[in-house]
C-alpha cells in the first residue's frame, strides 16, 4: 500500500470511530426512583424507539420511511464514515421527534411530509405508537407500587426488556414476568442469532484464518428473557442445530442443519450459565445439553464437526467416558449464584491473576447434563470436565443486548466474561480472543473486548456528558464514577484488556485537574479516595506505568483523604 493509500485508510478508520462514538446512546444520569423521564431524555428514547421497524404495531422505522420517500437505497442508513445522507436523515428524524414532543403526532407527521414528502398516513402510524409510549413515560407508579409491595399487595406484572427492545415494558413500577422457557428461543431470536453468530465467526476467521477449536459462551437469565433467547439461539446455531417444536409448540428437541447447508464446521461451545438462567430456564438447559450430545453423535468428518472431534479426543485419551466428555453446560451448585470473582477484585483480595480464573471454575464447575442411563444430572461438581472443555477454547463471547447497561457499568460482565477468559488462559495456555456483540443496534456489530473497553471509556467514563450527568446526583454520582473505574480495572485483572492511556486519562480528568478534584472531594471524599487507590493498584499490579510524579501525587491524595475519611 502506498503512503497516501495508507493515510486515507487511517483517516477513514478514524472517521468511522468518531461516528461510532458520536452515535452511541449513553445514559446521562441515574434513574431517580419515582420520577418520570424529563423532556430531553424522553425525546432521545423516542428517537431510538422510532429507529427500529415495528411490524407488530404496523409502525415503520422513521429513518427508513424518510429514505424511502426520498427515493434512497436503504443502505444509506448504514453507519459508514462521512455518511452525510444518513446524517441528514437522522437530523430530520430528530427534528420531527422534537416537534412531536412539543406538539402532537399530526403536527410531526405534517412536518415530515413537508420536509421529506413522507406520506402522512405512513408516519402517523409510527407517531401514534410514540404517543402511547410517551403517555406511559409520563406516568410513574414506582413509589406507589413499592408501598403496595411492602404491604404485601398484588403488583401487576409486565414484560422484562429494555424500552427500545419492547416499549411495552412501560409503565415502570410493575413486577417483571419471565417468559415460558419452552418458547425459547423464539423464531425471531433464532433468525437474529444466525446473523450475530455468523458475524462472530467471520470476525474470528478474519483474525485467525480458521475457525476456533471451541468457544466459551456466557448466558444470562434476564438477557434471554429480554430477547426471547437470543443467546441460547446463538449457541444452537454455532453447534449447527435448530430447535424443533412439539405438538404443544414447545422447543424440546433439536435437529441438525446439514453441513452442506451450514457451509462451515460445527463449533464446540462451552456454556457457562448464571444461577438465574439455571433457575428460569430448566428445560432450556436440557435442550442445550441435548444439542451437544446430538452433534457429538453425528457421523461426520472430524474437521467439520469440532464437537465430535473434541469429545472423541477426551474419550480416547481416557480423560472421560462419552457421557462425561460431552458435558458443556456448566453453572453454580444448585441454589448458588455468582462467581465471586467481582468481590475478589473489588476487595483487592487476590495474589495473582490465575487465582481469579481458578475461583471462576470452583464456583461454576457444576455440570447440568445426563448420565449413561439418560437420567438428568442437575449440578454435578465436575472441575475436571470443565477444565478439559476449557483447555480447547480459543475464543470467549457474551451477547450484549441492551443499551442501558454496558461492560463498565456493573461488575458482572468482568466477573463472568473476564472470569471465564482468565480460566481459559491458564487451561489452554493461551489467552483467548474475547468478543462481545452489540446485538441491539439495527446493524449487529461484533467487537473485541479491547475495542469495547475503549468505546465504553470514551463514551462514558471520560465523556463530560456522562460524568456531568452523574455529578448532578452528588454523592451517588461520584460513587458511580468510581464504580466505572473499578469495573474498568476488573478488565485489566481478568483479561488484560485496558490500554494504559485509559488510566492516564482517568487520573488527569478526576484527580490531577484541581477544579474537578475539589468538586469530587466536596461531594464524596470516600469514593474519591477509592478511585485514587484503584489507580495506584493498577500501577502496582503492572497495568499502568505513569511518571513517578503522578504516583507521588496519587499517594499524597490517598494520604490526605485518609485523614479526612477517618475523621469524618
Ligand atoms: C442474569 O440475568 O442471569 C444475571 C443478572 C445479573 C448478573 C449476573 C447474571
Ligand atoms: Mg497480564
Cα(491) to centroid of ligand 2, in Å?
11
**Which ligand approaches the C-alpha of residue 341 most closely?**
1
Ligand 1 neighbourhood includes 489 CB (under 6 angstroms): no
Cβ of 341 below 6 Å from ligand 1: no
Residues whose CB is less than 8 angstroms from the CB of residue 552 and which lie 6 or more positions away in sequence, other chains included: none
The atom number, within ligand 1, closest to the CA of 225 reads 2
Give the ligand whose atoms come closest to the C-alpha of residue 543.
2
Looking from the CA of residue 274, the nearest atom of ligand 1 is 3
Closest C-alpha among 125, 136, 160 to residue 55: 125
Q: Tell me the three-class secondary structure of 413-451, residue by residue.
A: HHHHHHHHHHHHHHHHCCCCEEEEEECCCCCCEEEEHHH
Q: Is the CB of 220 under 6 A from ligand 1?
A: yes
Distance 322 CA to ligand 1 centre (A): 31
Q: Which ligand number lies closest to the CA of residue 422?
A: 2
In this structure, which ligand is nearest to the CA of 541? 2
- The 3-state DSSP class for residue 287 equals helix
Q: How far is the CA of 488 from the centre of ligand 2 (A)?
A: 15
d(CA 137, CA 61): 20
Give the distance (Å) from ligand 1 centre to CA of residue 427: 25
Cα(496) to centroid of ligand 2, in Å? 5
Of all ligands present, the nearest one to the C-alpha of 425 is: 2
* Pairing mode, strands 214-219 and 395-400: parallel
Please tell me the distance between residue 484's alpha carbon and the centre of ligand 2 in angstroms: 20
pLDDT for the residue numbered 16: 84
Q: Decide the pairing of beta strands 251-256 and 395-400.
A: unpaired
Sign, CA torsion 233/236/242/245: negative
Centroid of ligand 1 to alpha carbon of 274 (angstroms): 6
* Rounded-to-integer distance, Cα 175 and Cα 173, Å: 7
CB 274 near ligand 1, within 6 Å? yes
Q: How far is the CA of 276 from the centre of ligand 1 (A)?
A: 6
Residue by residue, pLDDT tens for the chain (568 residues) are 566 778 888 988 888 888 888 878 788 788 889 998 888 889 988 998 998 888 888 899 999 999 999 998 877 777 665 678 888 999 999 999 999 999 999 999 999 999 999 999 999 999 999 999 999 999 889 999 999 999 999 999 988 777 887 888 899 999 887 788 999 999 889 998 999 999 999 999 999 999 999 999 999 999 998 888 999 999 999 999 999 999 998 999 999 999 999 999 999 999 999 999 999 999 999 999 999 999 999 999 999 999 999 999 999 999 899 999 999 999 999 999 999 999 999 999 999 999 999 999 999 999 999 988 889 999 999 999 999 999 999 999 999 987 778 999 999 999 999 999 999 999 999 999 999 998 666 667 899 999 999 999 999 999 999 999 999 999 999 999 999 999 999 999 999 999 999 999 999 999 999 999 999 999 999 999 999 999 999 999 999 999 999 999 999 999 999 877 765 5
Alpha-carbon distance of 5 to 520, in angstroms, equals 46
Does the CB atom of residue 204 touch ligand 1 within 6 A?
no
User: Atom of ligand 1 at shortest distance to CA of 275?
Assistant: 3
* pLDDT for the residue numbered 441: 64
- 57 DSSP 8-state letter: G
pLDDT value, residue 454: 97
Neighbours of 69 (CB within 10 A): 17
Is the Cβ atom of 488 under 6 angstroms away from ligand 1? no
CA distance 16 to 531: 32
DSSP calls for 23-55: H-----SPPPTT-PPPHHHHHHHHHHHTTS-BG
Cβ within 8 Å of residue 358, ≥6 positions away: 423, 426
Kindly give the distance from the C-alpha atom of residue 335 to the centroid of ligand 2, in angstroms, as a whole number: 33
Distance from C-alpha of 503 to C-alpha of 539, rounded to nearest angstrom = 9
- Residues around ion ligand 2, judged by CB within 5 A, are 496
Q: Give yes or no for residue 543 CB within 6 A of ligand 1.
A: no
pTM of the model: 0.90
CA-nearest residue, atom 4 of ligand 1: 220
Q: What is the pLDDT of residue 350?
A: 97
Q: What's the angle, vertex CA 505, arms to CA 504 and CA 506, rounded to 5? A: 95
Helix axes 500-507, 475-495, angle to 10 degrees: 160
Amino acid at each position: 500500500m502506498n503512503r497516501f493509500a495508507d493515510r486515507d485508510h487511517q483517516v477513514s478508520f478514524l472517521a468511522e470511530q468518531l461516528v461510532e462514538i458520536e452515535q452511541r446512546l449513553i445514559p446521562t444520569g441515574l434513574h431517580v426512583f419515582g420520577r418520570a423521564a424529563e423532556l430531553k431524555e424522553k425525546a432521545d428514547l423516542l428517537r431510538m424507539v422510532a429507529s427500529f421497524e415495528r411490524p407488530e404495531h404496523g409502525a415503520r422505522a422513521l429513518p427508513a420511511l424518510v429514505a424511502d420517500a426520498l427515493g434512497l437505497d436503504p443502505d444509506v442508513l448504514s453507519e459508514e464514515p462521512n455518511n452525510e445522507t444518513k446524517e441528514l436523515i437522522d437530523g430530520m428524524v430528530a427534528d420531527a421527534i422534537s416537534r412531536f414532543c412539543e406538539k402532537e403526532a399530526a403536527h410531526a407527521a405534517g412536518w415530515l411530509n413537508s420536509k421529506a414528502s413522507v406520506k402522512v398516513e405512513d408516519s402517523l402510524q409510527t407517531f401514534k405508537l410514540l404517543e402511547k409510549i410517551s403517555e406511559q413515560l409520563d406516568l410513574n407508579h414506582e413509589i406507589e407500587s413499592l408501598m403496595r409491595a411492602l404491604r404485601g399487595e398484588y403488583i401487576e406484572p409486565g414484560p422484562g426488556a429494555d424500552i427500545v427492545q419492547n416499549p411495552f415494558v412501560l409503565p415502570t413500577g410493575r413486577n417483571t414476568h419471565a417468559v415460558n422457557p419452552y418458547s425459547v428461543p423464539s423464531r425471531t431470536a433464532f433468525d437474529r442469532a444466525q446473523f450475530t453468530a455468523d458475524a462472530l465467526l467471520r470476525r474470528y476467521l478474519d483474525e485467525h484464518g480458521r475457525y476456533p477449536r471451541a468457544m466459551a459462551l456466557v448466558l444470562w437469565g434476564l438477557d434471554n428473557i429480554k430477547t426471547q433467547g437470543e443467546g441460547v439461539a446463538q449457541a444452537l446455531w454455532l453447534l449447527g442445530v435448530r430447535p424443533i417444536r412439539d405438538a404443544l409448540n414447545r422447543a424440546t428437541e433439536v435437529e441438525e442443519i446439514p453441513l452442506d447447508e451450514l457451509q462451515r464446521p460445527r463449533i464446540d461451545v462451552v456454556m457457562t450459565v448464571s444461577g438465574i438462567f439455571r433457575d428460569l430456564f430448566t428445560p432450556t438447559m436440557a435442550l442445550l445439553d441435548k444439542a451437544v450430545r446430538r452433534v457429538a453423535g453425528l457421523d461426520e468428518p472430524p474437521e467439520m464437526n469440532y464437537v465430535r472431534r473434541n469429545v472423541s479426543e477426551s474419550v480416547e485419551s481416557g480423560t472421560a467416558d462419552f457421557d462425561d466428555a460431552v458435558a458443556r453446560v456448566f453453572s453454580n451448585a444448585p441454589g448458588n449464584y455468582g462467581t465471586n470473582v467481582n468481590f475478589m477484585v473489588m476487595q483487592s483480595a487476590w495474589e495473582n491473576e490465575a487465582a481469579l480464573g481458578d475461583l471462576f471454575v470452583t464456583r461454576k464447575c457444576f455440570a447440568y447434563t445426563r448420565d449413561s442411563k439418560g437420567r438428568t444430572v442437575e449440578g454435578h461438581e465436575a472441575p475436571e470436565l470443565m477444565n478439559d472443555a476449557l483447555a480447547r477454547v480459543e475464543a470467549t463471547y457474551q451477547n450484549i443486548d441492551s443499551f442501558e447497561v454496558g461492560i463498565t457499568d456493573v461488575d458482572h460482565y468482568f466477573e463472568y466474561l473476564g472470569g471465564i477468559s482468565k480460566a481459559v488462559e491458564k487451561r489452554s495456555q493461551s489467552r483467548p480472543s474475547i468478543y462481545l456483540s452489540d446485538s441491539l443496534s439495527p446493524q449487529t456489530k461484533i467487537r473485541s473486548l479491547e475495542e469495547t473497553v475503549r468505546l465504553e471509556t470514551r463514551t462514558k467514563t471520560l465523556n463530560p456528558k456522562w460524568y456531568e450527568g452523574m455529578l448532578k446526583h452528588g454523592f451517588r454520582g461520584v460513587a458511580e464514577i468510581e464504580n466505572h473505574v473499578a469495573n474498568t480495572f476488573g478488565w485489566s485483572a481478568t483479561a488484560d484488556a485496558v490500554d494504559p492511556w485509559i488510566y492516564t486519562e482517568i487520573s488527569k480528568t478526576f484527580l490531577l485537574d484541581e477544579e474537578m478534584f475539589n468538586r469530587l472531594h466536596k461531594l464524596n471524599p470516600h469514593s474519591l479516595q477509592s478511585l485514587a487507590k484503584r489507580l495506584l493498584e493498577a500501577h502496582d499490579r503492572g497495568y499502568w506505568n505513569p511518571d513517578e510524579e503522578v504516583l507521588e501525587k496519587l499517594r499524597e491524595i490517598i494520604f490526605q483523604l485518609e485523614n479526612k475519611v477517618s475523621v469524618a
